[in-house]
Structure 1
Amino acid sequence: MKVPRKWLKASLLLIILLLTLFITWQVVGYYQQWQAGQERQRRLKVRRQQEKIAGRRQTLGLVQPQTTWGKQVDQQLQKAGYSGSALVIDHDKPVLHKGYGWANQDKQIKNQPDSVYPLASITKNLTAVMVIRALKQHHLSVDTKLARFYPKLAGSQTVTIKDLLTMMSGYQDVPFPKQMLSEKEFYRYVAQHTKYQGKPEQWHYKAVNYQLLAGVLYQLTGHSYTRNREATFGQYRLIGADSYFKNDRHAIGYRNGHKLDVDSKYFRQEVATGNLMSSDWTAYQLVRDELTGQLLTPSEFKTMTKPYPNESYSGGLYSQAKPAPYYLHGIMLGFESSIYIDQTGQRAVVLLSNHFNSKGRQNSDLAKQIYQTMLTNSHLSSFS
C-alpha cells in the first residue's frame, strides 16, 4: 500500500522536530553543566582567596627589632618586666612582635608572639560592631529606645541604644550569677536584676550596658552571641572562653605577682563584655579593619564611636586627641589588654598581658609611652 506523500512529509517534519528538541536538550544540558562547573570554579577561587586572606590573618610570628628605636622598645619592655605579647606597627609594618615572660610559670611555659589572651573589656568593642550591623539590617538606629526590647525595664522608655553604647544610661551593674547560666537565662537574669538610677550627668563605666546590648543583639538576630560573632568575625582568629581553657598551654592570669586560679565560668559568663580571646596580631587586625571600613561603613563607625559632649567613651573604645586618636583597654582576673592606634591603623601598639599590677595600669602606661615615642622616633623605625 502506497503511503500518501503528505504523511511522509509530516513524519519527516516530526523526526526533524524531535531531533532538534533532542539536540537542543543536549546542548542546554551541556551548557548548564558547563555553567555549574564555572560556578564551582568561581566559588573555589573565592574560597581559596578567603582562606588565603584568613591564613594571613591567623599569625604573624616573631618579628625581632631591626632598627635602633625598635631595639630600644624591646629593651624597655624587658626592663619593665613586661609579661605577655607585644606588637608595634609603624607605617603599616610590624616593627616588633615578641612574647615576654611566663604564660604559666609553674609549667615553665613562656609567652609567645602569637599567644592568645582574654581581650577583657575590648570585647565590648566587638559587641558594639555587631549591634550596629544588626540595627542597620532591621532599619533601626542608635536613637531607638531600649523599651523596644525591654519594655518592662525601668527607664527603658527614655534610655536609648546610644546611651548603652556610651555607658550613659544610668543602669547599675548586676551581681555575678551564683551558678552558670545559659545565654537566654543570663539575659533574663540581667534584665531582672538591673537597677535604674536615672540619666547620669557624667559617664560611668558599667558592664551592664553591654550585657543589655547583648540581649538586644540576641533579640534582633535570634542567634546566640557565639553565632553572631562567627558570622561577623569568622575570618579572624577569635576564640571563646571554652576553647581557650581547653588548651592546657593557655596563659594564666597573675595579679601583683600571684597566680590566679579562677574557674573558666567567670570568663564564659562575661557574655559580650569579656568572653573573647585573641592574639595581639588578631586584635590589631580587627581594630584596623574596623577603622578602615572593612567591618563598618565610615558613617556607621562614626555613629558607634561618637561620645556625648565632654566624654570620650563610646562603642567600646575611647576617642582622644593624644597620644593616639583611639585607645582600647581591658582588665580581667590578672589580664590586661591595651591598644593605642591611629585613624588609619598604620600606627599601633598592642600589649596583651597576663600580669596585672593593681597598684597602677603599668601595662597601659607602657603602651602609651611606646606609642608616644613612636611619634617622635618614627623615622628611625621605618623601613627603606
Structure 2
Amino acid sequence: MAADHQIPTGRTADNIVGFARALRAAGIPVGPGAVIDAMNAVQLVDIGNRADVFTTLEAIFVKRHEHALIFAQAFDLFFRAADEWKQMLDSVPLPDQPRKKPQAGSRRVQEAFSQTQMTETPRAQAEELRLSVSDKEILQKKDFAQMTAAEIAEVTRAIANMKLPQAELRTRRYRPDARGLKLDMRRTLRGSLRTGGDIIDIRKLGRIEKPAPIVALLDISGSMSEYTRLFLHFLHAITDARKRVSVFLFGTRLTNVTRALRARDPDEALASCSSAVEDWAGGTRIATSLHTFNKLWGRRVLGQGAIVLLISDGLEREADTRLAFEMDRLHRSCRRLIWLNPLLRYGGFEPKAQGIKMMLPHVDEFRPVHNLKSIEGLIEALSAMPQLHHRSLTRSAA
C-alpha cells in the first residue's frame, strides 16, 4: 500500500473525509487540499498503528496551537479504541461524567459529532448564528470554554464590534486652548507687539489629554488557552481605536506579540501571535515571566500612566517570595493594575492557592474574564476616568 500513491478509495477514504467534516464542524478549518494530503499520507504509515495515524493526521490538519486539544478529542471520539478502531462510529454517545469539569472545547467536539448531517451549508450556518434575544442573553453569561463552534463564532463577532470609549488621561503638557486655565504668557506678549504693547488678546493654555496606554499580560497555559484566545480578539478590536496597546503572552517564557496583533485581519493577527509563541498551552511560570517583563519592558511600555491588564488564573507552580516581589514592582510601575481571573466565575471562589495569595495584595481590581458580560464590565471600568492618587482593591463579579 505504501508503494501505491493513488488517492485511496473505500472505507479509508470515507473515514478521512468524514473525519475532516467533523473537524470543520468542531471549529478547525480543514480545506480539500488538506484532505487529499491526509489520504496520501495514511498510505505511507501503518494503518493499524493508532499512534502513527494520529500523528500523521495531526501534522496535516492542525495548524494552530489552540486546535491541538480539539483535534485530540475529536480523534478519540471519531475512531474506536478496539481492534476495529479505524471504522467510523455510526453514533457517538456523549460521555457521562457529571462530576468532572469538561475540558476546554469538549462540548464543541461532542456537538459536532452529534450532528446528523455534517455537510457544509453556509446559508444554514448563517441562519443558526442569528440568535434570538433570549439566546443572546444566555450567551452573555455562558462560559467561553463550554461554547459550541457556532457560539464562539457569534461571540467573536460581538467582540470585534466592541468599542472602548477614549478615557482621556490628563498629561503634564499644555497646548493652546481658548478655554484653558493657564496663561500663555509667550503668545500673549507676542500678540501685544502688534498693538504697540497693549495687551488686548489674552492667550491661554490647556492640558493635553491622551488615552491611557494599555498593557496586557496574558497567560497562555493549558487552563487559560481558551480564554486567552478570545481575549486576544478583544485586544485586536480596541487596538484599532487605541494604538497605545502593548500585548505580551507568557507561559514558561514571555513573548511580545504587539506587532503581530496589529494586523488588520483578526484571523491573521491571531495566527501571527500563535506562530510567535513556542510554549502555547504549556506550563506556567508567572514569577519568571513578570521578572522578564519588569526588567526588559517595564520602562518602555509602562510610562505615561499605563493601565495593566493581567489575565491569569494565578496557579503558579513555583510560588515563592519572588512572585510577590515582581507583582509589587509591576504594581508600583503602572497607574492601575487589573487582574482578570476566570476562576471568579465560581460563586464560592476563595484565594486558597499560594500563588493567588501572593498576587492579590498587589492589584487594584480583581475581575472575572470568562464570558461576554465580564468583558463588557471591563470596558466600563477602562472607560472611566483613571484615578490619579487613589488606589483601592475592588473585586467585581459578572
Q: TM-score, normalised by structure 2?
A: 0.24
Which structure has the greater CA radius of gyration?
1
Q: TM-score, normalised by structure 1?
A: 0.25
